[in-house]
Amino acid sequence: MIKQEETATKETVTAFFMDLQDRICQSLEEADGSASFREDTWQRPGGGGGRSRILTDGAVIEKGGVGFSAVHGEATEATLRALNLTDRNRPGDPATAPPTFYATGVSIVLHPHNPGMPIIHMNVRYFEMSTGHYWFGGGIDLTPHYVVDEDARWFHQSLKTVCDRHNPTYYTTFKPWADDYFYIPHRQETRGVGGIFFDYLKPTETIKKDDLFAFVQDVGNAFAPIYTHFMHQNRDLPVEESEKNWQLLRRGRYVEFNLVWDRGTKFGLETNGRTESILMSMPPQANWIYDFQPLPGSREEQTLGLLKKGVAWV
């Protein structure tokens, strides 16, 4: 059997991510109908840079960011620690010069106006070390302000379909991983209805690098159809003031997760990443009410009851 030549290189992966950002922004602009993305390009002092695209006050999206970055440089202790590469996992000889890394990815968070629309997050990324180690990571998770059974099922089925095209173990592995990752311990709540999360995806005897790349491409390509589905379906849902207030409290939880627990955010802020690009994920407005308790039997209470790990949506 002729060894298949692998085509996933840092160049091809990077090119795919740049194009993905372009295509997603175009789809979101079309579905929104009124706003267009503002682009900021930035350089990283240590090497590389990115393109942050921000949409504000659209017809559907109140504030959203779609970021692309491709950064490289010396893998400092902080970098290695954040990647769980210290001690036994650290590649190379610790006595020699630290390895260099290359990291590229696309990150998205969208906050809609309508509380009947979910917040969505997506990230796909690729890491490569000068030592030869490389891996893919990523995930998509949905944060409805009100959990709607049918929407959550449709979302998870969409992700499962993507996963199943590549490996029958992916959805069953990456769904609980998302439950664990997008969890707010101090609230004992999941951030939303979860989705999929994966990291350190490396080739095996039977799975080639190109297979992993194909999966990550499929995940990235699934984002726009999934969210524009909700944009078309939920954009004009009637809104009551109590629902708007609840949305603002749920955005407070989103802030709490991102600033206290999200590893990517913490890593970025602690290692002098570009703050405005990292905090693109912040909502336009978030509220806090001391010890808010939803009314018994309300939709708010029902939603809280579903923000837990292990719900089988498909």
Positions annotated as catalytic residues are 121
Please name the helix (run of DSSP H) or strand (run of DSSP E) that holds residue 19, with its range, or none.
Answer: helix 10-32
Residue of 255, 304, 311, 314 that binds a copy of itself (CB under 8 A): 255
Pick the closer one to a copy of itself by CB: 169 or 272. Answer: 272
Q: Which segment (162-170, 197-205, 285-293, 298-306) binds a copy of itself by CB under 8 A?
A: 285-293
Residue of 8, 13, 21, 65 that binds a copy of itself (CB under 8 A): 65
**Shortest Cβ distance from residue 88 to a copy of itself (Å)?**
22
Q: Which segment (1-9, 78-86, 113-121, 289-297) binds a copy of itself by CB under 8 A?
A: 289-297
Pick the closer one to a copy of itself by CB: 156 or 251. Answer: 251
105 DSSP β-pair partners: 69, 125
**Does residue 56 belong to the site contacting a copy of itself (CB under 8 A)?**
yes
Beta carbons within 8 Å of 77's beta carbon, 6+ residues apart: 86, 98
- Give the strands of the sheet with 100-112, arranged side by side: 38-43, 48-56, 61-74, 100-112, 119-129, 134-143, 194-201
Residue of 18, 259, 311, 314 that binds a copy of itself (CB under 8 A): 259
**Does residue 58 belong to the site contacting a copy of itself (CB under 8 A)?**
no
Q: Determine the Cα–Cα distance for residues 145 and 302; give it in Å rounded to an integer.
A: 11
DSSP string of 177-240? HHHHHTEEGGGTEESSSEEEEEEEE---SS--HHHHHHHHHHHHHHHHHHHHHHHHHHTT----
- Cα of 213 vs its chain's centroid, Å: 17
Q: Which segment (133-141, 203-211, 224-232, 271-279) binds a copy of itself by CB under 8 A?
A: 271-279
3 state SS for 138-190: EEEEEECCCCCHHHHHHHHHHHHHHHHCCCCCHHHHHHHHHHHHCEEHHHCEE
**Does residue 45 belong to the site contacting a copy of itself (CB under 8 A)?**
no
Q: Determine the Cα–Cα distance for residues 21 and 223; give it in Å rounded to an integer.
A: 11
Pick the closer one to a copy of itself by CB: 57 or 301. Answer: 57
Mark residues 215-254: x for contact with a copy of itself by CB under 8 A, - for none.
Answer: ---------------------------------x---x--
Q: Determine the Cα–Cα distance for residues 111 and 14; give it in Å rounded to an integer.
A: 26
Residue of 59, 269, 304, 314 that binds a copy of itself (CB under 8 A): 269
Mark residues 104-133: x for contact with a copy of itself by CB under 8 A, - for none.
Answer: ------------------------------
Interface contacts to a copy of itself, rule CB under 8 A: 38, 40, 54, 56, 63, 65, 185-187, 248, 252, 255-256, 259-260, 266, 269-270, 272-273, 275-276, 278-280, 282-291
